Amino acid sequence: MTFLTVQTAPIEGQKPGTSGLRKKTQIFREPGYLENFVQSIFDATGGAASRTYVLGGDGRFFNSEAIGVIIRMAAANGAARLIVGQNGILSTPAASNLIRKHGTDGGIILSASHNPGGEAGDFGVKFNAANGGPAPEKITDAIHARTLAITTYRIAEDAAPGIGETGRFTIGDMQIDVVDPVADYETLMRELFDFDAIANLFAGGFRICFDAMHAVTGPYATRILESTLGAAEGSVINAVPSPDFGGGHPDPNPVWARELVAIMNGSDAPDFGAASDGDGDRNMIMGKGAFVSPSDSLALLTAYANLAPAYCGRLAGVARSMPTSRAVDLVAERLGIPCYETPTGWKFFGNLMDAGKVTLCGEESAGTGSSHIREKDGLWAVLLWLNILARDGRDVVQLRADHWRSFGRNYYSRHDYEEIPVDAADALMTALRGRLANLPGSKAAGMEVSTADDFAYRDPIDQSLTGAQGVRIAFTDGSRLVVRLSGTGTQGATLRVYLERYVGRGGDHEQDVQAALAPVIAAAEALTEITKHTGRSSADVIT
């Protein structure tokens, strides 16, 4: 076995974002680009010598080639062992579980999550720490610093062994365990949920449609929902992972999951609908003719989690990202448990879970999870919903309506403006931040501002301070507006505008969402001047 030390030089733009490094696939395929970043991960985390890592990805274009490169680099850097998903497949939740189960030194996950795939699409590399969660900023900052100083990378000259079959292999002195990507994850789900109750639900004629969106969750959902729990064959659609996600956009929302929406709005709709994303960590939930917003889903799961064995009487607390609606806050208050507000990014939840402060957590961007791992988990959310429905007896629409009657409704929507020139997006945010001090007491489109700030988070566990996480503007009627730039895009800037309006118990909870939010939408345009700064008169995606 020959190991090479290859001379290299820093490559611009290798700063990890909230979920690792994401770029266009062709950029990752440029000579030395992937190698530089992977070597920087090893170097910045104390070296790979004698260490064990989990490795896998969502099956998008370039996944197999990248895994071969990383195997060869791990061996050359002295790693003792790799745990690799068969055929290079591992959902992000499954990878987090393997890291925790085997006590590894971390994991490398190849995914750009819900971003499009294919040769012209996006690719990503993310390092997860030993707790199974996304690397905290101190690690990603160190990785970025190393990318700016790197001079060599190490790689095996020989080709990596095949990973199409499970078993144990070696490359040099490094052991490679190729594992069934579903088995350990399914075992964990059995420990959390009442599989007998869910199986009885299906046996009684309950029908579901799970749209895997040609992405990584297909094999997981097919085996667990159909083979193990007994959902009718064909309940999982678009179940075979595809390098370009079937030419679609694997983002589980009503805009991109059109096939599922059409089925659930049809005359013969199943009882329950769900979708997951590219790497399996996000989810969308539907009832017959009804979409459940991610914010409402988090609130409902928190309210009824006690119906699942793992969570009965065991909710330490709940956390949500700052832009997520405050629906779950109302549930936490009634349950008498803490509710934490964090910046966007699952790593912030990880600290709280490691300290035993929270059990459930979620983000408005279709991510929900619990302390069973340190990632959001799309199929877990679906199974918790099914466990609740099996034990409660009401359907999705009834459960949601009764919840609004009991707690009131937080009308909520996100407006995305994509691929904006970075300088225009920065100018908008700078101008808005410059006006914050003078906004309280002023009016915008007839709505009076009560408070305005730039969200900063003091982590209650390690006391680290994370600033500039998005502008929050609250109005005297209880409505809220949040404006921030997303860190998940690969081209230009994505401006996200979050709109929220609360209608209490006894109010009208059946309005069209955009109509209910019309006053907040008008105030948002007046305050942000999006059209002036970007030339955009409407959002590209509304969810």
Query: What phi, psi does 345 have (nearest 5°)?
Result: 125, 125
How many angstroms separate the CA atoms of 241 and 60, rounded? 8
How many angstroms separate the CA atoms of 366 and 113, rounded? 12
Q: Which of 350, 377, 407 is the last residue in one of the domains?
A: 407
How many angstroms separate the CA atoms of 74 and 160, rounded? 11
Lookup: tokens for 175: 């052991």
- List Cβ neighbours of 389 (8 Å cut-off, separation of 6 or more): 201, 206, 271, 272, 395, 396, 399
CATH code at position 311: 3.40.120.10
Lookup: tokens for 334: 């009634």
**b/e 135-169 (16+ beta carbons within 10 angstroms → b):** bbbebbebbbebbeebeebbbbeeebeebeeeeeb
Q: Give the active site residue among 19, 40, 113, 295.
A: 113
Q: Would you list the DSSP string of 417-447?
A: EEEE-HHHHHHHHHHHHHHGGG-TT-EETTE
pLDDT for res 490? 59
Listed as ranges, residues in the chain with pLDDT below 70 are: 487-490
Q: Are residues 331 and 355 in the same domain?
A: yes
| Angle at which helices 327-335 and 396-407 cross, to 10° | 70
pLDDT for res 311? 97
How many angstroms separate the CA atoms of 55 and 59, rounded? 12
For 405, the 3-state DSSP assignment is helix
- List Cβ neighbours of 298 (8 Å cut-off, separation of 6 or more): 318, 320, 324, 327, 328, 360, 361, 362, 368
**Domain that includes residue 352, residue range:** 185-407
| Burial of 453: CB neighbours in 10 Å, binned 0-12, 13-18, 19+ | middle
Q: Which of 179, 198, 214 is the last residue in one of the domains?
A: 179
| Angle at which helices 327-335 and 294-304 cross, to 10° | 10
Q: Are residues 15 and 117 in the same domain?
A: yes
Lookup: tokens for 361: 């957590």
pLDDT for res 487? 64
Q: Are residues 202 and 290 in the same domain?
A: yes
Q: Are residues 237 and 120 in the same domain?
A: no
Cα of 527 vs its chain's centroid, Å: 29
367-370 and 339-342: which strand pairing? unpaired
| Angle at which helices 183-192 and 92-102 cross, to 10° | 80
Cα of 193 vs its chain's centroid, Å: 21
Pair 467, 484: CB distance under 8 Å:
no
Pair 39, 154: CB distance under 8 Å:
yes
**How many structural domains compose the chain?**
3
Q: Are residues 116 and 222 in the same domain?
A: no
Q: Are residues 145 and 190 in the same domain?
A: no
Q: Are residues 296 and 388 in the same domain?
A: yes
How many angstroms separate the CA atoms of 242 and 447, rounded? 47
Q: Are residues 259 and 325 in the same domain?
A: yes
Distance (Å) of CA 112 to CA 65, 278, 302, 476: 16, 8, 28, 39
Q: Which of 129, 152, 179 is the last residue in one of the domains?
A: 179
How many angstroms separate the CA atoms of 359 and 366, rounded? 17
Pair 358, 329: CB distance under 8 Å:
no
* Cα-trace Rg, the chain: 23
Closest CA to 383 of 233, 276, 296: 276
Pair 35, 28: CB distance under 8 Å:
no
DSSP H or E stretch at residue 58: none
Helical H runs in 247-392? 258-264, 294-304, 327-335, 346-354, 378-392
DSSP H or E stretch at residue 475: strand 471-475
Q: Are residues 220 and 232 in the same domain?
A: yes
Active site residue 113: yes
pTM of structure: 0.94
Tally of CB atoms within 10 A around 226:
19
Helical H runs in 436-517? 513-516
For 180, the 3-state DSSP assignment is coil
pLDDT for res 347? 86
How many angstroms separate the CA atoms of 82 and 78, rounded? 11
Closest CA to 345 of 328, 325, 317, 324: 324
CATH code at position 528: 3.30.310.50
Q: Are residues 241 and 193 in the same domain?
A: yes
pLDDT, tens digit (0-9, with 9 covering 90-100), for 473-501: 999 999 999 999 986 555 789 999 999 99
Pair 482, 497: CB distance under 8 Å:
yes
How many angstroms separate the CA atoms of 340 and 350, rounded? 12
Query: What phi, psi does 375 have (nearest 5°)?
Result: -140, 160
Q: Are residues 57 and 104 in the same domain?
A: yes
pLDDT for res 492? 82
- List Cβ neighbours of 341 (8 Å cut-off, separation of 6 or more): 319, 320, 321, 322, 457
Q: Are residues 152 and 125 in the same domain?
A: yes
